[in-house]
Chains A and B, each alone.
Chain A
Amino acid sequence: MTDDVGPPARRVADTAANEVLAAVFARVCEGSEEAFAELYDITSARLHGLILSVVRAPDLAAEITQEVYVEVWRQAARWSADKGSVRAWMHTIAHRRAVDRVRSVQRETEREVRWAGTTRESEPDHTWEGVEQRLEVEGVRAALEELSTLQKEAVSLAYYGGYSHREVAEILGLPLGTVKTRIRDGLLGLRSVMGAGT
């Protein structure tokens, strides 16, 4: 093949890696613990990284990572292609669990804060700063640069911050409809930056 091997070549490499993963996962579905160790080795850095991005506390992240892998082991045979690729399925489980945990921790904190008679006024800024800083350090920024600031903000608060879209609307002082649109447009923007799904 000649010069225009750029995107297709990358796609092929990705596909090859995905197929290795799928082969390993097929053995996991048959109950192979050895294959599960391989699955862990292939997927854990990205999965743990995602969880850590959301919950931020390393101990809590490790705990959730363990829960997610146990869940993946239990549910493996129930994975099907309509749930997305194996990785996407695992990330979906991981992200939801991380967000659930952040929210329950947040609810507890709120109770304590209310008890102490203070508000969480300053928290959104703090969170936003933290999210942005982390993204800067870890390189997502390059991908996010393509997005508008407003979309970035919405995606970061919702996806990495673990805030519900209603909370994001409150934090940003925007109508819920606008926030929904920004989160969606932001994710669509990320999709086009990553060259996936198009």
Chain B
Amino acid sequence: MSDMHSMVGSYVADALDDGEREEFDQHLASCAACRAEVYSLREALVEVGAFHEAAPPPMLRASILGAISGISQLPAQEPRPARSETAQPSPAVQHPSAVQPPPESPAPSNVIAPAHGFGRPRRPVSTWLAAAAAVLAVALGGVTVWQQSELRSVQAADAQRADLLAAPDLVVAPGTLDGGRLTYLVSKERGEALVTSSDLPDPGPERSWQVWVMKDGVPRSGALLDSGGRVQAWIDGVSGGQALAITNEPRGGSPAPTTDEIQAIIEF
């Protein structure tokens, strides 16, 4: 429907009349390309908005806060028109699959490092970092819609996380581990990192995923990821480190990596 597609700009600019808007809303329900474009254009306009910020009159704050305290919030479940794709979980717990990432944005980057040497503790860190840097360049460009929704669900919970999320030097990067998606949140200033996943694959019988903090070429055990599904692992002592890596280790973890195969890596 190329004619419909040509209305994307007018739709985003609120330049359609009511009939056209309804028509386009219906079109959007079935056109992922238009949805992605609408999404990205709106985000861009938010950025443009930074150029014409204007503080509202000071008394407006009290007026608004006064107004809302007498108004109850609507429940999360919104009655929706029957559209196959709108079966969504409650917004409080966003599921990645509910989001349509713009097709023109890069796919979630695969941070599977090739099996470069690891496990031989004397191996120079430069190999690592070269691989990690290449991976990171891709990773940071690919902070996707999925990731944001992942983060939203991640951060709904507690203050420690909020604190990490507020770190001025926070690095957020996506990754994958054996086909499952990970999100790394790292703050060297806070000295901590959080690795999260909502669909971590099982590491295999009698195996564990183990996170290592790379410090000057020497891996130090950071954390074990619980096997499978939704996980969050805190890692301390990342301040002096340069990278996080994940390997598949015997159940319960190892004091030092027992394998060459780095399953995932992130430099920070």
A residues apposed to B, CB below 8 Å: 1-2, 4, 7-8, 11-12, 15-16, 18-20, 22-23, 26, 29-31, 33, 36-37, 40-41, 44-50, 52-53, 58, 61-62, 65-66, 69-70, 73-82, 84-85, 87-88, 91-92, 95-96, 99, 134-135, 138-140, 142-143, 155, 158-159, 162-166, 168, 177, 179-188, 190-191, 194-198
Contacts and interface: CB of A to CB of B under 8 A. Distances in A.
A7 B141 CA distance: 8
Contact of B73 (A31, A37, A177): A31
B75 interface: yes
A186 B166 CA distance: 35
A158 B67 CA distance: 32
Contact of B48 (A85, A177, A194): A194
A191 B104 CA distance: 12
Contacts of B162: 20, 23
B19 to A, nearest CB: 11
B266 to A, nearest CB: 11
B8 A184 contact: yes
Contact of B40 (A11, A47, A87, A191): A191
B75 to A, nearest CB: 6
Interface string B132-148: 01001100110101001
B152 to A, nearest CB: 5
Interface string B36-80: 000111111111111111111100110111011101111110100
Contacts of A11: 140-141, 143
Contacts of A168: 15
Contacts of A196: 40, 43-44, 47
A40 B10 contact: no
7 contacts: A12-B170, A26-B92, A33-B68, A61-B56, A70-B67, A88-B42, A198-B104
Interface in B145-159: 145, 148-149, 151-152, 155-156
A74 B104 contact: no
B105 to A, nearest CB: 7
B64 A85 contact: no
Contacts of B168: 16
B9 A186 contact: yes
A8 B91 CA distance: 28
Given A29-B92, A77-B90, A197-B41, 9 more contacts: A1-B268, A12-B171, A20-B166, A70-B64, A70-B68, A78-B91, A99-B14, A159-B45, A188-B9
B172 A1 contact: no
Given A33-B65, A36-B65, A164 B17 contact: yes
Contacts of A179: 10
Nearest to A159: B13
A82 B55 contact: no
A190 B148 contact: no
A33 B64 CA distance: 11
Given A8-B141, A186-B9, A191-B41, A46 B56 contact: no
Contacts of B167: 16
B239 interface: no
Interface string B184-195: 000000000000
B218 interface: no
